[in-house]
Amino acid sequence: MVGTSQFTSLQMRTWDTLSSLAWLVEAGADESIQDSPSNRLMPDGVHRNEPQTSSAPLDQREVSSNSDRSPLISSGSVTMVPNTEEAHLSAAASRNLDQLRLAVEAFDGCGLKRTAMNTVFADGNPHADLMLMGEAPGAEEDRKGLPFVGAAGHLLDRMLAAIDRDRTSAYISNILFWRPPGNRNPTNEEIALCLPFVRRHIALVRPRVLVLVGGIAAKTLLNRSEGITRLRGKWYKYCPDDSGVPVDATAIFHPAFLLRKGHQKRETWQDLISIRARLTDPKVFEGDK
Ligand code: URA
């Protein structure tokens, strides 16, 4: 039999659990990523190097970190080199996009895959002359297995429509194929592990114009340390492979950033006009960086 005082304490515990859950949801948690809680005070060090979780959803984060995107990862005093060999071999062995998609889906080297629901490879027309590379899938993309289908994706669609493009005339992917849990920032190691597939992806598509959407995609692929404000509005020659034949590339503000900072829309409009001009007549552009 449950006594009144026991019943009250049971109710109290249920109430505590519910209010803790409500508090977590309020703070931005949108899913549980472990079946059981982990004691982060235990000295096993397993969780010590976990990256910081951003409280804002990926769709709403400004990409402004200036962190080094090279494959060398500094963890305290130890410098680790992620083992990207398997990714390199698997990417290089992929002769076409179908093979590359299968290779990415079969790749278990990136820990993000373990917490993601789906691999998000690409959407749109792979024969299009325009390819867009974003950062990483968010919650909606993870659920559907398609890039840019959440709020930021809807704005990206409107940006494409402004230059008379849609997903039948553009091809869209991300530099990460799996959603970082809770939309945290991807680590340098995760980026480095996906990069061989990303480069192969661009090499196989070989678009006339490559648009890097947001600071993380731009810094990673252009191998630059500046933020998106400095990188956007210029044209670059991007070499996705050892052929030495470059692809025209540019960078734009991430639509998630534009959703929060509407005043940057004017610059983005200029960038879109420049992209359209480049697609229409790439020969008139000489002397690019
Ligand atoms: N943000 C991205 O960078 N990519 C997506 O697919 C969705 C949101």
Q: Is 178 in the pocket of ligand 1 (CB under 6 A)?
A: no
Query: Which 8-state DSSP code applies to residue 50?
Result: P
Distances (CA, A) of 251 to 129, 176, 179, 210, 277: 16, 17, 22, 8, 15
CATH of range 80-279; options 3.90.800.10, 3.40.470.10, 1.10.357.10, 3.10.450.350:
3.40.470.10
Q: Which of 54, 58, 253 to mutate to test the pocket of ligand 1 (most atoms within 8 A of CB)?
A: 58
How far is the centre of ligand 1, averaged over its atoms, from the C-alpha of 133 (Å)? 9
Q: CA angle at residue 211 from 206 to 212, to 5 degrees?
A: 115
Instruction: Tell whether ligand 1 has an atom less than 6 A from the beta carbon of residue 257.
Output: no
Q: H or E element: which one contains 132?
A: strand 130-134
Compute the distance from residue 119 Cα to the ligand 1 centre, in Å. 13
What's the pLDDT score for residue 125? 98
- Report pTM: 0.75
- Give the span between the Cα atoms of 95 and 98, in whole angstroms: 8
Ligand 1 lined by 57 (C-beta under 6 Å): no
Q: Is the dihedral of CA 180, 186, 192, 195 positive or negative?
A: positive
Residues 6+ apart with CB under 8 A from 286: none
- β-pairing verdict for 247-252 and 171-174: unpaired
Cβ-proximal residues to 56 (8 Å cutoff; 6+ apart), any chain: 28, 183
Ligand 1, atom 7: closest residue by C-alpha: 148
pLDDT score, position 71: 42
Tokens 């390819």 identify what position?
A: 131
Testing ligand 1's pocket by substitution, the residue of 174, 177, 183, 258 carrying the most ligand atoms inside 8 A of its CB is 174
174 Cα–ligand 1 center, Å:
7
Q: Are 53 and 29 in contact (CB under 8 A)?
A: no
Ligand 1 pocket, 135 CB below 6 A? Answer: yes
Q: What does 159-216 look like in DSSP terms, one character per residue?
A: HHHHTT--TTS-EEEES-SSPPGGGPPPPHHHHHHHHHHHHHHHHHH--SEEEEESHH
Instruction: Kindly state if the Cβ of 180 falls inside 6 Å of ligand 1.
Output: no
User: Is residue 217 within 6 Å of ligand 1 at its C-beta?
Assistant: no
Cβ–ligand 1 contact at 141 (below 6 Å): yes
142 lines ligand 1 (CB under 6 A): no
Out of 135, 177, 190, 257, give the residue to mutate to test ligand 1, the one with the largest number of ligand atoms within 8 Å of its CB. Answer: 135
pLDDT score for 261: 84
* pLDDT of res. 264: 82
d(CA 254, CA 247): 21
Task: Print pLDDT tens along the chain (289 aa).
Answer: 444 445 466 565 655 666 666 655 555 565 565 555 555 454 443 333 333 334 333 333 333 333 333 344 444 445 556 789 999 999 999 999 999 999 999 999 999 999 999 999 999 999 999 999 999 999 999 999 999 999 999 999 999 999 999 999 999 999 999 999 999 999 999 999 999 999 999 999 999 999 999 999 999 999 999 999 999 999 999 999 999 999 999 999 999 999 998 778 899 999 999 999 999 976 655 555 4
Cβ pair 131, 250 in contact under 8 A: no
Two structure tokens written together for 254: 């991430």
Tokens of 261: 């900072």
- Residue type at 75 in one-letter notation: S
Q: What are the structure tokens assigned to 63, written together?
A: 């990409």
Query: Which pLDDT score, from 0 to 100, does residue 78 have?
Result: 53
Instruction: Answer whether 173's CB lies under 8 Å from 207's CB.
Output: no
Tell me the two tokens of residue 267. Answer: 């610059």
Cα–Cα distances (Å) from 210 to 166, 185, 204, 265, in that order, read 15, 23, 13, 20
Contact between 234 and 131 (Cβ < 8 Å): no
> How far apart are alpha carbons 8 and 149 in whole angstroms?
46
**How far is residue 54's CA from residue 166's CA, in Å, rounded to a whole number?**
31
* Per-residue model confidence (pLDDT) at position 265: 86
Rounded Cα gap, residues 149 and 138, in angstroms: 9
What pLDDT, on the 0 to 100 scale, is given for residue 60?
34
